[in-house]
Amino acid sequence: MEHELNHLQQPVGRAVSGWTPPPRPAREPLMGRLARLEHVFRLGYRRGEWKCDALNAPSRAAAQRLGFTFEGVFRQAAIHKGRSRDTAWYAVLDRDWPGRRSGFQQWLDPANFDERGRQRKRLADCQGVSP
């Protein structure tokens, strides 16, 4: 991931080969992602980016569930393990951040979880994202 100070953009999500996100969002990792995005925008960056292998469906779904907007696929962006890899790009812009932050906070509210820790409302619903 590249930090682009000149363009005021900062990557905040990436899928590492062999890693898949948990099937359901967990509160603690999401709190970390929220803190990272909050920090990025507080520093004055204009965008937070999420890049992943275009074939990594779980990572792509996680980016969308978290409120990142799909921006496209960079074809033949890299060679990984001898295979030409296309990279899917997602972003949250500074102008979108207040609404995304609100969605994160709504999902993280303790009232959104039952006594067994199960979510009552999905993160995508709090973010206003279609499944």
Tens-digit pLDDT profile for residues 19-54: 444 445 567 777 888 888 889 899 999 999 999 999
Bridge partners of residue 19, in order along the sequence:
none
User: What does the domain layout of the chain look like in residue ranges?
Assistant: 8-14+22-121
pTM: 0.73
**Nearest-5° Cα angle at 21, 101 to 15:** 85
If one compares 122 and 20, the residue with the highest pLDDT of the two is 122
Domain spanning 8-14+22-121, CATH class: alpha beta
